[in-house]
Amino acid sequence: MKLRISHETTYRYDRPIRNLIQSLRLTPSIYEGQKVLQWQIDLPGGVRGPGFRDGAGDWIEGWTLRGPTDEVTVRIEGRIDTRDTAGVLRGHREMIHPLAYMRETQVTRADPGLRELAASVTQQGDVLNLAHALSRAVSEAITFRPGVTESRTTAAEALALGEGVCQDHTHALIAVARTRDIPARYVSGYLHSTIDGEPHDAAHAWAELHVEGLGWVGFDAANSCCPDERYVRLGSGLNASDAAPIRGIATGGGAEDLDVRVQVEEMAQ
Amino acid sequence: MSHYNEMFEGDAVRDPYARLSQWVATMPDDFRQMKQAEAEELFRRIGITFAVYGEGGDPDRLIPFDMMPRVFEQAEWRKLERGIKQRARALNAFLRDVYGRGEIIRAGRIPARLVYQNEAYEKAVVGVVPPRGVYSHIIGVDLVRTGKDEFYVLEDNCRTPSGVSYMLENREIMMRMFPQLFRHNRIEPVDQYPALLRRTLESVAPPKCTDRPTCVILTPGHFNSAYYEHSFLANLMGVELVEGQDLFVDGEFVYMRTTTGPRRVDVIYRRIDDPFLDPLCFRPDSMLGIPGLMDVYRSGGVSICSAPGAGVADDKAIYTFVPEMVRFYLGEEPILNNVQTWTLWKDDDYRYVMENLPDLVVKEVHGSGGYGMLVGPKSTKEEIEHFRRKIEANPSNYIAQPTLSLSTCPTFVEEGIAPRHVDLRPYCLCGDRIELVPGGLTRVALREGSLVVNSSQGGGVKDTWVLSE
């Protein structure tokens, strides 16, 4: 599937900022499921800093911007060719040992509720079957509903609410997977459309679970499926903040208003 | 339990202490008291103090200084030096390995879980090889002695070992107060340490640095217990002492704000912990670090000493594998011994430890500074039972060791002079070369019978001499 992506993040400050520094994880991963045709990151007025591929295989790029300014935009324009690898992250070069993803974080900590959910899955068979079953269990336990959770909501809180968005599903799946001794991580990226063809907020997140023999396999509990050619993978981390496409700090500036627009369209052949 | 006395063998004085014994024997009591007061006054005037966590009281309290030096012969020291350098090479090889291919784990010599699930393992620096492949540039190796030729390593400190300022000050003050001692004894100097440290830091400048490297010391600030040491070392090395807010990232480099404008920084000797280094990479709420630092570091624009992630080598659980590292990476037999260590997550070890608690020393895996430990033979029944419950709640958080019969050194006490237990922390510098100044910091447990030398637990310090040939 050939996808055209346009992603614009605009920060508006109620007082001009003096300086801005950002660390961007906004370049598609290199693996069998996707091939970048063209990709451009721009931060008008900013200076491109260091760029490098980290041990997780993600391309990281730093940007700095000197103020004063009261508006900053990070703009992505790109075209990418994707194909379905049944969720398997084949051909992805990375150096980090899967066990490094067994680490608990505050938002992915398994409380009694999550441990109970993990234990309720009695799937027979191999780790892959168990991973599918855990993902299904999370899909059933947390109903997709925007607006009830926020960025700092933990997996335990989302499960207690029974509602949430893709970030919450992903945190919950990571928590239950680790409880069952499966290394799991957070993946951020884009999604063309949901499985029934309905339009979707195109910035997306899902989990990857490590299955011996197969490697990392994606599970999108929010949509009850595995990533296919409609998904564009950017990078990974222990949780949403660790895998965030944009991490940044502005000095000065006061309150900040954020506007994100993402479009993922299929290109005409 | 009989302890090795470093000065006396029965009634006979051992060789290294021959001259000192005359000095002590002929020293009148009132002169000693006068000198002790003078030493304290000097320390206070210089401003060397060491705040101690968790004790309350005066944060600027002095660590007691004992005027009786501790002495090593050249040959004794040479062997220690070889052993420490060997250990330093192995520890850095281990760090290169576990942030690279992990050969020692693939070979089955160290369990993967202990490394990759370790809190100090930083996945953010996997694949990053610092200049010269050195991760830990200053290694403090804590040694104890149990016999004439028996030394054991208690632990390695690969992150930011403190205390070297005491090593330098103890010598400075002894030389000021007793210049004649230094005329009559041929003692190896230690005052070259700051120059060696600076040379070490400069030798690991990043690939993108083309001029003479600019080095700085990064401190969390004056509220940190070792702030005095940070400013002391910066001063002696002739480099700037900075806090996070004094540095900033612009483009591909790190800069320091100065009165004459921004100046590029090449090497940062940091005295702040990994999680606080960079809010864009580690803890987002950290105010102590420099946003964007890790991106510059990972792309070769700046060196950080010790390298982020170096702490995985000095964890108490990893410690048990250091002799294995020496064999695996260097193909040598370890010169220095480890203390036998039981790891409580192993069933057999757990059973043994729980049955023998009154005889053992039990420590937290991530503890330091003498906190959270049980010294079995020195504890009451209640203390032991209380600790037993803590172990039961979380066995994998503990290791246990036999109670070692630590050597003693004569120490000035109220009643005159008496043996007290000591340890030794030499500071090993790793850059283009591996170097140590002769000696290190001797810590002494001032309470009679006490085996805990930590300053937070009533420990003091001594000048440490290595005699020339």
Residues A163 and A45 in one domain: no
- Of A48, A102, A248, which is closest to B280 when you measure between CB atoms? A248
pLDDT range class, residue A198, cuts 50, 70, 90: low
Longest pairwise C-alpha distance within chain B: 69
Residues A71 and A95 in one domain: no
* End position of a domain, from candidates B358, B385, B402: B402
Please judge whether B296 and A54 are an interchain contact, meaning their C-beta atoms are less than 8 angstroms apart: no
User: What is the model's pLDDT at position A63?
Assistant: 96
User: What is the model's pLDDT at position B370?
Assistant: 62
User: What is the model's pLDDT at position B56?
Assistant: 40
> CB-based contacts of B452: which residues, under 8 Å, 6+ apart?
B370, B373, B375, B445, B458, B459
Is residue A93 within 8 Å of residue A30, measured between CB atoms? Answer: yes
Residues B368 and B448 in one domain: no
Please judge whether A54 and B298 are an interchain contact, meaning their C-beta atoms are less than 8 angstroms apart: yes
Residues in B touching A97 (Cβ below 8 Å):
102, 105, 112, 115-116
pLDDT over 70, % of chain B: 95
- Of A54, A56, A99, which is closest to B116 when you measure between CB atoms? A99
Give the C-alpha separation, A7 to A260, whole Å: 7
Residues in A touching B121 (Cβ below 8 Å):
100
The answer to whether residue B322 is domain-embedded is: yes
Number of folded domains in chain A?
Answer: 2
Residues B252 and B382 in one domain: no
Give the C-alpha separation, B444 to B459, whole Å: 5
Residues B197 and B113 in one domain: yes
Residues A43 and A152 in one domain: no
Residues A46 and A150 in one domain: no
The answer to whether residue B2 is domain-embedded is: no
The answer to whether residue B425 is domain-embedded is: yes
Q: A19 CB near a chain B CB, below 8 Å? A: yes
Please judge whether B123 and A241 are an interchain contact, meaning their C-beta atoms are less than 8 angstroms apart: no
**How many C-beta atoms surround the C-beta of residue B439 within 10 A?**
27
The answer to whether residue B80 is domain-embedded is: yes
Please judge whether B128 and A62 are an interchain contact, meaning their C-beta atoms are less than 8 angstroms apart: no
Residues in A touching B300 (Cβ below 8 Å):
50
Is residue A76 within 8 Å of residue A8, measured between CB atoms? Answer: yes
Give the C-alpha separation, B426 to A231, whole Å: 55
Name the residue in chain A with its Cα closest to that of B106: A97
Give the C-alpha separation, B370 to B452, whole Å: 7
Per the rule left: phi > 0, alpha: psi between -120 and 50, beta: everything else, B86 is alpha
User: Å from A23 to nearest chain B CA?
Assistant: 7
Residues A100 and A211 in one domain: yes
Q: Which of B187-196, B248-257, B455-464 is predicted least confidently? A: B455-464
Residues A187 and A164 in one domain: yes
Give the C-alpha separation, B77 to B437, whole Å: 10
Is residue B208 within 8 Å of residue B251, measured between CB atoms? Answer: no
User: Å from B199 to nearest chain A CA?
Assistant: 27
Residues B415 and B267 in one domain: yes
Here the tokens at position A84 are 């379905």
Nearest alpha carbon to residue B299 among A246, A54, A22: A54
Q: What is the pLDDT of residues A30-63, one digit of tens each?
A: 999 999 999 999 999 999 998 999 999 999 999 9
Q: What is the pLDDT of residues B109-123, one digit of tens each?
A: 999 999 999 999 999
The answer to whether residue B276 is domain-embedded is: yes
Q: Which domain holds residue B142?
A: 8-334+405-466
Residues A107 and A34 in one domain: no
Is residue B292 within 8 Å of residue A46, measured between CB atoms? Answer: no
Mean pLDDT across A185-208: 84
Residues B346 and B202 in one domain: no
Domain holding A10: CATH number? 2.60.40.2250
- Of B105, B250, B300, which is closest to A64 when you measure between CB atoms? B250
Residues B213 and B90 in one domain: yes
**How many C-beta atoms surround the C-beta of residue A267 within 10 A?**
12
Please classify residue A1 by burial: count the beta carbons closer than 10 Å to its beta carbon, then call 0-12 exposed, 13-18 middle and 19+ buried. Answer: middle
User: Å from B463 to nearest chain A CA?
Assistant: 43
Is residue B202 within 8 Å of residue B215, measured between CB atoms? Answer: yes
Please judge whether B117 and A56 are an interchain contact, meaning their C-beta atoms are less than 8 angstroms apart: no
Give the C-alpha separation, A240 to A242, whole Å: 6
User: What is the model's pLDDT at position B469?
Assistant: 78
Is residue B136 within 8 Å of residue B318, measured between CB atoms? Answer: no
Query: Which residues of B have a CB under 8 Å from any CB of A?
Result: 99-100, 102, 105, 112-113, 115-117, 119, 121, 123-128, 248-252, 279-281, 284, 291-292, 294-296, 298-301
Tell me the helices (H) and strands (E) count for chain B, helix number first.
Answer: 14, 23
CA angle B45, B51, B53 (to 5 degrees): 170
Here the tokens at position A23 are 């660390």
Is residue A17 within 8 Å of residue A252, measured between CB atoms? Answer: yes
DSSP per position, B226-290: THHHHHHHHHHHT-EEE-GGGEEEETTEEEE--TTS-EEE-EEEE-S-GGGS-TTTS-TT-SSS-
The answer to whether residue B1 is domain-embedded is: no
Residues A91 and A73 in one domain: no
Please judge whether A99 and B113 are an interchain contact, meaning their C-beta atoms are less than 8 angstroms apart: yes
Give the C-alpha separation, B368 to B454, whole Å: 9
pLDDT range class, residue B221, cuts 50, 70, 90: very high
Is residue B362 within 8 Å of residue B350, measured between CB atoms? Answer: no
Residues B30 and B165 in one domain: yes
Residues B313 and B423 in one domain: yes
User: Å from B253 to nearest chain A CA?
Assistant: 8
Residues B410 and B398 in one domain: no
- Of A48, A50, A98, which is closest to B301 when you measure between CB atoms? A50
User: Residue type for A117, please?
Assistant: L
Residue B353 pLDDT > 50, yes or no?
Answer: yes
* End position of a domain, from candidates B402, B419, B442: B402
User: Residue type for A108, please?
Assistant: T
Residues A229 and A152 in one domain: yes
Name which of B105, B115, B116 to mutate to probe chain A: the one with the most chain A Cβ atoms within 10 A of its Cβ: B116
pLDDT range class, residue B61, cuts 50, 70, 90: low
Name the residue in chain A with its Cα closest to that of B286: A249
Evaluated on CA atoms B230, B231, B232, B238, the torsion sign reads positive
ipTM of the complex: 0.94
Give the C-alpha separation, A97 to A101, whole Å: 8
- Of A51, A62, A96, which is closest to B126 when you measure between CB atoms? A96
The answer to whether residue B440 is domain-embedded is: yes
Residues A196 and A104 in one domain: yes
Please judge whether B295 and A55 are an interchain contact, meaning their C-beta atoms are less than 8 angstroms apart: no
Nearest alpha carbon to residue A212 among A135, A132, A93, A126: A126
Is residue A21 within 8 Å of residue A63, measured between CB atoms? Answer: yes
Domain holding B373: CATH number? 3.30.1490.270
Q: What is the pLDDT of residues B306-333, one digit of tens each?
A: 999 999 999 888 999 999 999 999 999 9
User: What is the model's pLDDT at position A117?
Assistant: 97
Residue A17 pLDDT > 90, yes or no?
Answer: yes
Residues A231 and A259 in one domain: no
CA atoms within 13 A on the CB side of A115: 4
Name the residue in chain B with its Cα closest to that of A242: B281
The answer to whether residue B3 is domain-embedded is: no
Q: Which domain holds residue A153?
A: 84-237
User: What is the model's pLDDT at position B92?
Assistant: 98
Domain holding A120: CATH number? 3.10.620.30
- Of B117, B125, B296, which is closest to A102 when you measure between CB atoms? B117
Residue B462 pLDDT > 60, yes or no?
Answer: yes
Mean pLDDT across B420-429: 96
Nearest alpha carbon to residue A172 among A135, A145, A204: A135
- Of B119, B123, B281, which is closest to A55 when you measure between CB atoms? B123
Number of folded domains in chain B?
Answer: 2
Q: What is the pLDDT of residues B64-94, one digit of tens each?
A: 889 999 999 999 999 999 999 999 999 999 9
Q: A246 CB near a chain B CB, below 8 Å? A: no
Residues A262 and A161 in one domain: no
Name the residue in chain B with its Cα closest to that of A63: B251
pLDDT range class, residue B59, cuts 50, 70, 90: very low
Q: What is the pLDDT of residues B28-54, one digit of tens each?
A: 888 888 998 888 888 877 766 554 444
Q: A97 CB near a chain B CB, below 8 Å? A: yes
Q: With b meaning 16 or more CB within 10 Å and e meaning fewer, what string describes B392-401?
A: eeebebbbbb
Residues in A touching B102 (Cβ below 8 Å):
97
In DSSP terms, B323 is beta-bridged to none
Which helix (H) or strand (E) segment holds residue A8: the answer is strand A2-24
Please judge whether A62 and B112 are an interchain contact, meaning their C-beta atoms are less than 8 angstroms apart: no
* End position of a domain, from candidates B375, B402, B429: B402
Here the tokens at position A220 are 């999108």
Give the C-alpha separation, B302 to B285, whole Å: 23
User: Å from A50 to nearest chain B CA?
Assistant: 5
Residues B238 and B152 in one domain: yes
- Of B117, B284, B296, which is closest to A241 when you measure between CB atoms? B284
User: What is the model's pLDDT at position B63?
Assistant: 80
Mean pLDDT across B452-458: 74
Is residue A221 within 8 Å of residue A139, measured between CB atoms? Answer: yes
